Amino acid sequence: MPDPIDLAPLIDHTLLRPEATTADVERACEEARRYGFAGVCVTPANVALAARLLAGCSARPIAVVDFPLGTGPTTAKVGEARGAISAGAQELDMVVNLDALRRGDYALVLRDIEAVVEVARPRPVKVILETGALTREEKVIGAALAKAAGAAFVKTSTGFGPGGATAEDVALLRQVVGPEMGVKASGGIRTAADACKMVEAGATRIGASASVAIISGGPATRGTY
């Protein structure tokens, strides 16, 4: 098991609470700079501020798209993705169209992801599957569609849906997408032990609001995930 501090470059420091303030974003970006997190994941409304505050450091400003429900039309997702990129987002975390996936409209799911991947290119797109709401078969199909659509990562959860990341789900997603794609574990990861289980299962990125506690061993405070 790696030393907790080695986890820092794998962590997307996350601030997606609806009530998050400018001061919260400033603090999250300062923590990302201090600890060397992979990025700071915020809402599109906050991505311009995050991009400005992270300029010149390795942490990337990341915006969510159609978060947390994923039910918007493709045109709306593409518009939100374009706006986030214009504001400085270097990565996008989009929510899969969960309704379409569960009713078997796989062509819609594929087109939806492809459209965001295309507008984001060459920036990576992570596809949030909300694994806690899916059957095993649906998880497999969702991950396969994300890979076919050219996404860079599959991601377990929004943090707002049922359940969170599990090592079993991470291992399943890794098995489906193979070594070519990233797997991001998010949802309920609050300690170094939690994070290390996900890495051992195949995760290459961790989404967490308890990032500082994870790498320092301190108590986790209330956050999005």
Q: Which of 77, 147, 155, 197 is catalytic?
A: 155
The residues near 218 (Cβ < 8 Å, ≥ 6 apart) are 212
Q: Is residue 74 a contact partner of residue 112, using CB atoms and an 8 Å limit?
A: yes
From residue 120, give the alpha-carbon distance in Å to each of 80, 88, 143.
Answer: 11, 12, 19
**C-alpha distance across the termini of the chain, in Å:** 23
Residue 93 annotated in active site: yes
Q: Is residue 155 a contact partner of residue 189, using CB atoms and an 8 Å limit?
A: no
Structure tokens at 74: 């493709």
Residue 169 annotated in active site: no
Cα distance between residue 35 and residue 42, in whole Å: 18
Cα distance between residue 51 and residue 145, in whole Å: 30
Residue 155 annotated in active site: yes
Q: Which of 66, 184, 194, 197 is catalytic?
A: 184
Q: Which of 12, 66, 93, 194 is catalytic?
A: 93
Which residues make beta-bridge pairs with 153? Answer: 126, 182
Cα distance between residue 102 and residue 109, in whole Å: 10
Cα distance between residue 173 and residue 178, in whole Å: 8
Q: Is residue 77 a contact partner of residue 94, using CB atoms and an 8 Å limit?
A: yes
Q: Which residues are catalytic?
A: 93, 155, 184
